Amino acid sequence: MTADELVEALRAEGCRITIARRAVCAALAERPGAHLTAADLRSGAERLAKRSIDVSTVYRTIEVLERVGLIDHVHTGQGVTVVHTSERPHHHLSCRVCGAVIDVDADAVRGALEPVASAHGFAADSLHFALVGTCAACREAAV
Ligand SMILES: [Zn+2]
Ligand SMILES: [Zn+2]
Ligand SMILES: [Zn+2]
């Protein structure tokens, strides 16, 4: 996803395109596949725009891009919520030791969890929360 595509989506939602909003889009586009906090996006955007950007601008931009389905947020269980582009659905493993977020196949997770939920008539959003634990490298380091 390019910065221009993100900017166009904001424009289509009636947002005024400011230098700050454009910089937030560029900061998202330059890290494809990354899991970014609002603070990461803010510092990336500030570096690109060479000026300070209000954190509320970052949140507002995230909110609009999420509403139109271009990005998504995930709870990693580590006190921060990350956003990532939602072109390719995936689930996450979140390491509570080093903070790594590892992408895993979404279908396998859905296949395991959604039948359990639907037995209760519940429509599960199984990708919304990461599975929290300890990654292979941290387990090895602990031995
Ligand atoms: Zn949420
Ligand atoms: Zn992700
Ligand atoms: Zn780890």
What pLDDT, on the 0 to 100 scale, is given for residue 5?
A: 95
CA distance 33 to 92: 12
CA distance 38 to 54: 11
What pLDDT, on the 0 to 100 scale, is given for residue 85?
A: 78
What pLDDT, on the 0 to 100 scale, is given for residue 88?
A: 79
CA distance 129 to 74: 6
What is the CA(57)–ligand 3 centre distance, in A? 32
Closest-lying ligand to the alpha carbon of 138?
A: 3
**Amino acid letter for position 108:** A
What pLDDT, on the 0 to 100 scale, is given for residue 1?
A: 84
Closest-lying ligand to the alpha carbon of 129?
A: 1
What pLDDT, on the 0 to 100 scale, is given for residue 36?
A: 92
Per-residue pLDDT tens, the chain, 143 aa: give them: 899 999 999 999 999 999 999 999 999 999 988 899 999 999 999 999 999 999 999 999 999 999 999 999 999 988 778 888 767 789 999 999 998 999 999 998 889 999 999 999 999 888 899 999 999 999 999 88
CA distance 16 to 12: 10
CA distance 111 to 46: 41
Q: Which CATH architecture has domain 89-142?
A: 2-Layer Sandwich (3.30)
| Domain boundaries along the sequence of the chain | 3-84, 89-142
Fold held by 3-84: Arc Repressor Mutant, subunit A (1.10.10)
Beta strand segments in the chain, E? 71-75, 81-85, 90-95, 101-105, 131-133
Closest-lying ligand to the alpha carbon of 97?
A: 3
